[in-house]
Amino acid sequence: MTSWVEVSERRLHANYRLLVEAAGGDTAVLAVVKANAYGHGAGVCAPVLVKAGAEWLGVADAAEGVAVREALVRARAANGAANGVAHEDQPRLCHDIRILVMSGLLGEDAEAVLSHGLTPVVWEQQQMEWLAAAVVQSGGDVARLPVHLEIDTGMARQGVAPGEGLRALLHWLKRQPRLMLEGVMTHFASPEEVGSAQTLAQRERFEEAIAAVAEAGLRPAWVHAGSSSTVDNAADSMVGSTIDNRNAVGNLAWLRSLAAGVGARSMVRSGIALYGYCLPIEPEGCGVNANVRCGLQPVMSWKTRVIGLREVRAGDTVGYNAIFTAPRPMRLALLPVGYSDGVRRELSGSNARAGGWVMLKGQRAAIVGRVSMNLTVVDVTGIAGVAVGDEAVVLGDGVTADDHARLAHTIAYEIVCGVRAEARLV
C-alpha cells in the first residue's frame, strides 16, 4: 500500500458531539457520510458516528447507502460477537439507524432502497412511483416506505418549488398507500454568509412549502435544513442576531420553531465539520461560533512512506519540465503518491513559487518540482536521519486540507474528497 488514511476515532466522535451541542435544543444532527465520508472511508466512519449518537446518516446515492448499511451490519455483528449476542437480530437492529439517500434515484435503485432500509429524498412523482412499485413487489415486508420531500428554495438542483406543482405532488402523495411523507427538507446555498439575504429568501420559500404540507393534511415527523455552516455561523445560528436585522431570528432558531409549528422535529445535516473542517464565515471575523471553530479537530491523517532518497548537485533539475533547479547540493526523498492519489498538482514547488509540503519527523519537507501522477519529491536536506521506509504525513497535523486548498485555489471539501487511499481507524 503506497499510502493510507488514519481516521481518529476520538476526534470524529468529539466533533459529532460538539455539533450536537452547538445545534442545541432537540435539533438532531444527521451525519453526512457521502462521497466515502468525504474521503475518510464511509465504512470506517459510519459505525463511529453511530456510536457517538447519530440516528441519521446521509449518503449521496443508493449504492453508497447499501455500502453504509452493510458496514453497520458488520460492525454490529462484530460488537455482538464480542458481547456474546446472537447474530440473527443484527440486521434488523441496524435498521434503527436511518440512512438518507440525498441526491436522487433512478428506477433501478428502488429495490436496494427497500432491501437495505434506506430512506430516499424525492421530489418528483416518477421517483415515488418507482418506489411504490418496489414496495408492492417486495410483498408487504414494508407497509409504507418513508420518504423525505425536498423543496427547491433557490438552489435549482433538486427539489420541487413551492406553488402549484408542490400542491399537486402533495395531493398525489397523500393518496399513495405505499409511501409515507416522513420528512420535508431544503438546502441552503449560502449558509456561511452572515445575514445572507439569499438564505432569508430561501427560508420564506421553505415556510411556504411547510404551510402547503400542513394544508394538505400531511404530518411529517422531520423538518430539516442547513449544513455545517448553519451550525458554526454563530451570528445566524443565534436567536436575536444583531448582525442583520432582517435575520433577527437565527437560522437554527427559525428551523426549530418551523418544525415545532407542525409538530415535527428539526434536524441539520452536517458533513465537513464532522471531519474537522469548515468554510470561512463571511464577512471574515464576523460571527464565527468560536466554540465550534476552536473545538473541531481534523480527523484524517493521510500518510505514506519514503521509498527512495538521493543527493543532487547544485544545478540539477527535478521532475517534469524542470521547474525546480537545486540551488545547492540537496537531499531529496521520493514519496509514492501523486495527483492520481489526490496530491494536487498545484502543490508543485518551483524556484519561483514555493508549493506544498509534507511532515517528516515532525518537520516540514517542501515539495520540489512537479507533483507527478504517482510520485512526489520533497526536500529533506535540513531533516536529519531520514531513511527509506520513514512515514511522511501528506495531510494531518502540520499540514491541513485548508493548506492544500489555499494552494490549489479550492475548498477543503475538494481536497479531502480527492484523497484516494484506504482508511483505517486509529
Ligand X SMILES: *Cc1c(COP(=O)(O)O)cnc(C)c1O
* Choice among 34, 38, 277, 303 that is catalytic: 34
Among 212, 272, 330, 332, binds ligand X (CB under 6 A): 272
Is residue 228 involved in binding ligand X (CB under 6 A)? yes
Q: Which is nearer to ligand X, 102 or 169 (by Cβ)?
A: 102
Q: Which amino acid is at 211?
A: A
Q: How many residues bind ligand X (CB under 6 A)?
A: 12
Residue 6, SS3 per DSSP: strand
Which 3 state secondary structure label does DSSP give 117? coil
- Choose which of 32, 249, 347, 412 interacts with ligand X (CB under 6 A): 32
Question: Segment near ligand X (CB under 6 A), from 6-14, 84-92, 264-272, 287-295?
Answer: 264-272
Question: Per-residue contact track with ligand X, 83 to 112, x per CB under 6 A?
Answer: -------------------x----------
- Shortest CB 286 distance to ligand X, Å: 19
Give the cell for residue 356. 506544498
Scanning 176-184, 265-273, 321-329, 349-357 for contacts with ligand X by CB under 6 A, the matching segment is 265-273
Residue with Cβ nearer ligand X (151 or 383): 151
Among residue numbers 147 through 206, which ones bind ligand X (CB under 6 A)? 187
Query: And the C-alpha cell for 287?
Result: 460571527
> What is the C-alpha R_g of the chain?
24
131 CB contacts (<8 Å, ≥6 apart)? 105, 110, 113, 114, 120, 122, 145, 147, 178, 179
Question: Measured at CB, which residue is nearest to ligand X?
Answer: 271
291-294, Cβ contacts within 8 angstroms, sequence gap of 24 or more: 291/18, 291/22, 292/18, 292/19, 292/22, 292/231, 292/232, 292/234, 293/232
Q: Give how far Cα 210 sits from Cα of 143, 192, 220, Å.
A: 25, 24, 10
Beta-carbon contacts of residue 405 (< 8 Å; ≥ 6 apart): 411, 412, 414, 415
Give the DSSP letter string of 50-110: HHTT-SEEEESSHHHHHHHHHHHHHHHHHHHHHHT--STTHHHHHTTSEEEE-S---GGGH
Asked if residue 271 binds ligand X (CB under 6 A), the reply is yes
Which lies closer to ligand X via its Cβ, residue 274 or residue 386?
274
413: annotated active-site residue:
no
Catalytic annotation present for 34 = yes
Which CB, 32 or 128, lies closer to ligand X? 32
Question: CB of 142: closest distance to ligand X in angstroms?
Answer: 24
Residue (104 or 356) nearer to ligand X, CB: 104
Determine the distance from the C-alpha atom of residue 80 to the mean position of all C-alpha atoms in its chain, rounded to a whole number: 28
Concatenating the DSSP letter of every residue in 229-270 gives HHHHBHHHHSBT-SS-GGG-B-HHHHHHHHHHHTT-EEEEEE
Q: What letter represents residue 71's amino acid?
A: A
Q: Which CB atom, from 300 or from 333, has the smaller least distance to ligand X?
A: 300
Which C-beta is closer to ligand X: that of 122 or that of 135?
122
Which range touches ligand X (CB under 6 A), out of 9-17, 222-230, 349-357, 382-390?
222-230
Is position 270 an interface residue for ligand X (rule: CB under 6 A)? yes
Q: What is the largest CA-CA distance in the chain?
A: 78
Bridge-based pairing state of the strands 28-32 and 265-270: parallel
Our finding on whether 44 is near ligand X (CB under 6 A) is no
At residue 164, φ and ψ (nearest 5 deg) are -60, -45
Nearer to ligand X, 37 or 367 (CB): 37
Spatial contact of 421 and 3, defined as CB atoms under 8 Å apart = yes
Which of 226-234, 257-265, 291-299, 330-338 is the region at the interface with ligand X (rule: CB under 6 A)? Answer: 226-234
- Smallest gap, in angstroms, from Cβ of residue 257 to ligand X? 20
Give the one residue of 269, 344, 370, 404 binding ligand X; rule: CB under 6 A: 269
User: Using the rule CB under 6 A, which residue among 90, 119, 227, 251 binds ligand X?
Assistant: 227
Q: State the nearest-atom distance from the C-beta of 222 to ligand X, in Å.
A: 13
From 16, 51, 275, 320, active-site residue: 320
233 binds ligand X (CB under 6 A): no
Shortest gap between Cβ of 386 and ligand X (angstroms)? 36
Nearest 5°: the CA angle 77, 83, 87 is: 35
The set of catalytic residues is: 34, 320
Q: List interacting residues with ligand X (CB under 6 A).
A: 32, 34, 102, 187, 227-229, 269-273
